[in-house]
Structure 1
Amino acid sequence: MLSLHTNSAGLTIRNNLASSNAALSTSMTRLGTGYKINSAADDAAGLQIATRLLAQTRGMSVAAQNTQNGISLMQTAEGALQEFTNIVLRMKDLATQAADGSTTTSDLTALDAEYQDLVKELGNILSNTTYGGEALLDGGKLAGSVSFQIGATAAETMSVDISADITKLKDFQGTNASDLTTSGNASALISTLNTTLDDVGAARSKLGAAQNRLTHTYNNLQNMQTNTTDARGRIMDVDYASETANMTAKNILMQAGTSMLKQSSQMSQMVLSLLQ
């Protein structure tokens, strides 16, 4: 039907042009940003899932760094206790030598002089071993239970507690170290030093086990982070091949629609030709 007042074809073409223009704009935005979801309107559910995955990924990234910091902290403490062990072994050598009946009074004096210096160094290690400027052993972080955040949720923590072992080492250094001024003292100290070696060994064992656990935790976090990032990418990232083809199609529709809209505007001229 030819009508002067209503151009049905033009109205239809304009509606299709508006739809094609919106789709073309969406395609261009996706190709420009690299994301197929640029606002909640694009995919509300997908955006919500992707946001949760991003929060998890970022949390795991920080947690992975936490595990490395925790390992470094415990390596520092374990290194100090390694030297503590070396000193106690030397003290035991001195005590064993001093306990022998052939040792003279002058020998005992010399042996005790070295022994007392080693006792002081044990105290120095306990008091002055630090990590990041903060004490670790006596009165420091490891004087109580330490909790490490090893995951993206509040429940994912790991506790390390060598406080009881540190207390035993402190007690030995402070009150039980005695001296080597007599063979009797030296003989008694051999057993005490063996016990101290057991105590420092227990502390080092706990630190070593914790370091191994944190290493496995780090590896697992890296694995989860990789797969979670992939999952988010499948939701958020645009498929350039598919979207480029889609943009080309919408662009052609826009050009064709524009051309047809121009043609439809000429239909009213046909009405005038009927009146001539």
Structure 2
Amino acid sequence: MSLVINHNLMAMNASRNLSDHFGRLGVSTRRLSSGLRVGTAADDAAGLAIRELMRSEISSLHQGIRNASDAISLIQTADGALQVIDEKLIRMKELAMQASTGTYNSDQRLIIDSEYQAMSSEINRIANATDFNGIYLLNGNLSGEPATDHNGAGITSTGPLKIHFGTGNDSAEDYYYVAIQGSTSSAFGLGHDAGSKFGLTAEEQNAGKAISTQALAQSAMAAINAAIISKDKIRANLGSMQNRLENTITNLEIQAENMQAAESRISDVDVAQEMTEFVRNQILTQSAVAMLAQANSLPRMAMQLIGG
């Protein structure tokens, strides 16, 4: 290589290497400080796209867990109210049993019937007042067939409650329906608020409405038994749905954990490997700086030939 003063090719080469090593040192510093291997699309364009999709799935899974947990709280609220209703029904049967015997006169049966009607009114109050976040649970608003009666097109959904926990909306694996039949005393056919029962005899029509006579009290016991069975079916359905949701939460947590691990393998930096690269680039940068300083001093040798 000729000794020239217009162009310092060795300095240019050292400067290019310095720029390259210093740029890599900056990338290593950014990765180590952020903990991310993929910080920009330039690092790994395909990896960045996959990572962002995974991040959206992970966030959706965590929200699905919260949705399912909220549904469990809703079910527990309904079940707690039904437990109180259960106590009222048991007391009503006890009163019907008391009024059915012949050792009480008509005045005493009327007194017993007044408590019976009070229990019926309390069941109505509980059923109409029990709500979760403004959603009334036991008044019959959530009753019906899940596949056909749910309608979420309006501002307020109608029919069975739809609990969404999946990351999509294209299959029944992404949501459950919670249907809760009405638990008012009129729905059970008890008390003065009980509706008409079509196709029945007059005695059957009045069964459960009152216990003011011995005959009415005796017929009320069968009606109360039917109400207890209806209430137990509602509670059993809620219990099975709660168990499903708890299993769903466990499954979603496992999915989120595995998805997070996969996202970490794509996105996160291997600190040991990157630290090795950092030290390597640091040494190369320092070496390039030293050589650039030396290369910049080489043209001075030409001055010795000139006689300077």
Residues 1:216 and 2:247 are matched in the alignment: yes
| Cα distance in 2, alignment partners of residues 169 and 2 from structure 1 | 108
| Contact 2:99/2:211 (<8 A) preserved | yes
Matches within 5 A, 1:159-238: 159-163=177-181, 165-166=182-183, 170=187, 172-173=189-190, 174-175=193-194, 177-238=208-269
How much has 1:3 moved relative to structure 2? 4.0
Q: Which has the higher helix share?
A: 1
The answer to which structure, 1 or 2, has the higher relative contact order (CA under 8 A, 6+ apart) is: 1
Residues 1:62 and 2:81 are matched in the alignment: no
Query: Runs (4+) of structure 1 moved beyond 6 Å?
Result: none
| Contact 2:85/2:123 (<8 A) preserved | yes
Q: The residue matched to 2:163 in structure 1 has which SS?
A: strand
Q: Normalising to structure 2: TM-score of the pair? A: 0.83
| Cα distance in 2, alignment partners of residues 52 and 45 from structure 1 | 11
1:30 corresponds in structure 2 to: 31
| Cα distance in 1, alignment partners of residues 97 and 126 from structure 2 | 24
Distance 1:38 1:71, change over 3 A: same
Q: Which runs of 5+ in 1 are unaligned?
A: none
CA offsets 1:163-200 (integer angstroms, 9 cap, x no match) = 3x547863524315411111111122111111111111
| Contact 1:123/1:170 (<8 A) preserved | no
Counterpart amino acid of residue 153 in structure 1: G
| Contact 1:136/1:142 (<8 A) preserved | no
| Contact 1:7/1:264 (<8 A) preserved | yes
Matches within 5 A, 1:1-276: 1-4=1-4, 5-138=6-139, 140=141, 144-155=159-170, 156-163=174-181, 165-166=182-183, 170=187, 172-173=189-190, 174-175=193-194, 177-276=208-307
CA offsets 1:210-263 (integer angstroms, 9 cap, x no match) = 111111111111111122112212222222222122111111111111111122
Q: Which runs of 5+ in 2 are unaligned?
A: 145-158, 196-207
Q: Over aligned residue pairs, what C-alpha RMSD do you find?
A: 2.1
Q: Normalising to structure 1: TM-score of the pair? A: 0.92
| Contact 2:99/2:213 (<8 A) preserved | yes
| Contact 2:137/2:180 (<8 A) preserved | no
Counterpart amino acid of residue 187 in structure 2: K
| Contact 1:78/1:207 (<8 A) preserved | yes
| Contact 1:146/1:161 (<8 A) preserved | yes
Distance 1:10 1:27, change over 3 A: same
Equivalent pairs, count = 275
Counterpart amino acid of residue 180 in structure 2: I
Q: Percent identity?
A: 30
| Cα distance in 1, alignment partners of residues 186 and 251 from structure 2 | 35
How much has 1:133 moved relative to structure 2? 4.1
How much has 1:208 moved relative to structure 2? 0.6
